[in-house]
Amino acid sequence: MTVGRLLAITTPADAADWYAAGRAYTERVAGGMGFPGVDRIDADEVVATLRADPAALSDRETESVVGVLLGDAVYSEPFCEWMPTWYELAVVPLARVLERRLRRIAREVAAATGLIATAPRFPRPRDTLVAGASPLSGVSGFRERFVLAAAVTHVEWFRHAAAADAIDVPSGFLDRAIRETLDYYAGPRRRLSPPVRRFQLLCFSDETWVRDVDAAYDLDSWLFALWARLLGAERRRLA
């Protein structure tokens, strides 16, 4: 992984491609589910404004940018708590540096319009039980834990980003998705309901996000390549 290229993300202009990848993911999931409000943000215009003059963003555009950046800033550490210790030790140091960068840029963008934004809180294994036990007791192996971690955390990432983009998600759907997801990937549930299965299939398209970021920042990252393989395999299985 080319760490230096990620650490070079220091300004809103540097983060424009990062935002574009995140917004494309939100749009892909929401559009695939038919959730209203997907077109309230024009990502191309937002990216161009981020590069030229972030202070010119509208309030809604600012919320969208800050939503993506803060969601990604705080994503990795809770994700790593679902993973084996060796993975956590390898990823968290870089994740913390990137978190500081993305938080600082998000604050800079938010300050231009006076937006007060809060980062999402992602679920961790200690936050829930499946069949009366830790969700990690129902999985074994690196791939299984990775897929479980992704399935749970990308639901919450989408919740946060969709709210920032004013996308109309049906009331209660994401809570239902989390319950079914935990019971399916870490418990006794044998299949997801059709709407949640479709939603998870779309969420596992974050393999595209991985490839977009890897290409945009010329990372040539073995870690990103691993993520893309695992995410894509689960997306295809759900399909």
Closest CA to 22 of 40, 58, 46: 46
Mean pLDDT within 170-196: 97
For the cut 60, the answer to whether the pLDDT of residue 152 exceeds it is yes
User: What pLDDT, in 10s, does the model give residues 78-129?
Assistant: 999 999 999 999 999 989 999 999 999 999 999 988 898 889 999 999 999 9
Over the chain, what HEC string results?
CCHHHHHCCCCCCCCHHHHHHHHHHHHHHHHHHCCCCHHHCCHHHHHHHHHHCHHHCCHHHHHHHHHHHHHHHCCHHHHHCCCCHHHHHHHHHHHHHHHHHHHHHHHHHHHHHCCCCCCCCCCCHHHCCECCECHHHHCCCHHHHHHHHHHHHHHHHHHHHHHHCCCCCCCCHHHHHHHHHHHHHHCCCCCCCHHHHHHHHHHCCHHHHHHHHHHHCCCCCHHHHHHHHHHHHHHHHHC
Q: Are 199 and 31 in contact (CB under 8 A)?
A: no
Q: What is the structure's pLDDT at 129?
A: 92
Q: What is the structure's pLDDT at 138?
A: 84
Mean pLDDT within 161-185: 97
Mean pLDDT within 228-238: 97
pLDDT band at 8 (very low <50, low <70, confident <90, very high): confident
* Beta-carbon contacts of residue 22 (< 8 Å; ≥ 6 apart): 68, 69, 71, 72, 161, 209
Q: What is the structure's pLDDT at 3?
A: 56
For the cut 60, the answer to whether the pLDDT of residue 183 exceeds it is yes
For the cut 90, the answer to whether the pLDDT of residue 168 exceeds it is yes
Mean pLDDT within 48-60: 95
- Lowest mean pLDDT, pick from 5-9, 31-35, 90-94, 165-169: 5-9
pLDDT band at 6 (very low <50, low <70, confident <90, very high): confident
User: What pLDDT, in 10s, does the model give residues 65-75?
Assistant: 999 999 999 99
Q: What is the structure's pLDDT at 50?
A: 96
For the cut 80, the answer to whether the pLDDT of residue 35 exceeds it is yes
Q: Are 118 and 63 in contact (CB under 8 A)?
A: no
User: What pLDDT, in 10s, does the model give residues 115-135?
Assistant: 988 899 999 999 999 999 999
Work out the percent of the chain whose per-residue pLDDT is above 90. 89
Mean pLDDT within 181-200: 97
